[in-house]
Amino acid sequence: MDATIINPFVKAAVRILGQELGQIPEKEALQLQDTYYTTEDVTVMIGVTGSVEGTMLVGMTESTARNIAASMLGCKLVLFDEMAESALAELGNMIAGSASAELEKAGYQCRISPPSLIVGRGTIISTSRMRRLVIPFRVPGGRIRISVALRRAKEANQEGSRCSGTP
């Protein structure tokens, strides 16, 4: 996994989480995983396409999601409702958007998809034979895990298709 395409996501996460939560998050030990991603209670998923392609996932418990959304919205949340969902989707969008802007400065053209919010634990997401770097953070109100599975698009093209010939 290439640090030049991963570091913008780490830096963006630290900066955005710090701005939105009023405290710099504490980064915990990074993990490299080959397995499928299994969603947490709340997971924000954003796709990346262009000269860099892959997925960024932001996962957390419902309690942490409520705490983060409450901090972003400036009010106490009893339920994880549509406003909370919107706040968390925007948090993922801000992190991915900031990272993609840094990638553009480094010469990588890329686009991000609108955020998708998966509510409910246990959905399995495949990262298409890409390893994921898991970046856990301790934040006010809980812990979040940002998983980044990215590669240069030319690497994907070199892998080629596993199928040959006509069906």
138 or 131, higher pLDDT: 138
For the CA atoms of the chain, what is the radius of gyration?
Answer: 16
Give the pLDDT of residue 50: 94
| 3-state secondary structure (DSSP) of residue 96 | helix
Contact 137, 144 (CB under 8 A): yes
Over the stretch 12-42, which tens digit does the pLDDT of each residue have?
999 999 999 999 999 999 998 887 788 899 9
The secondary structure of residue 58, as a DSSP letter, is E
pLDDT > 90? residue 164: no
Where along the chain do its domains lie?
3-153
User: Which CATH number applies to 3-153: 3.20.20.70, 3.40.1550.10, 3.40.50.2300, 3.90.1150.10?
Assistant: 3.40.1550.10
Q: What is the pTM of this model?
A: 0.87
Task: Please give the Cα distance from 143 to 63 (Å, whole number).
Answer: 10
Q: How far apart are the first and last CA of the chain?
A: 34
Using CA atoms, how far residue 109 sits from 13, 49, 115, in Å, is 20, 9, 19
Q: Of 123, 127, 117, whose CA–CA distance to 68 is shortest?
A: 117
Over the stretch 63-83, which tens digit does the pLDDT of each residue have?
999 999 999 999 888 788 899
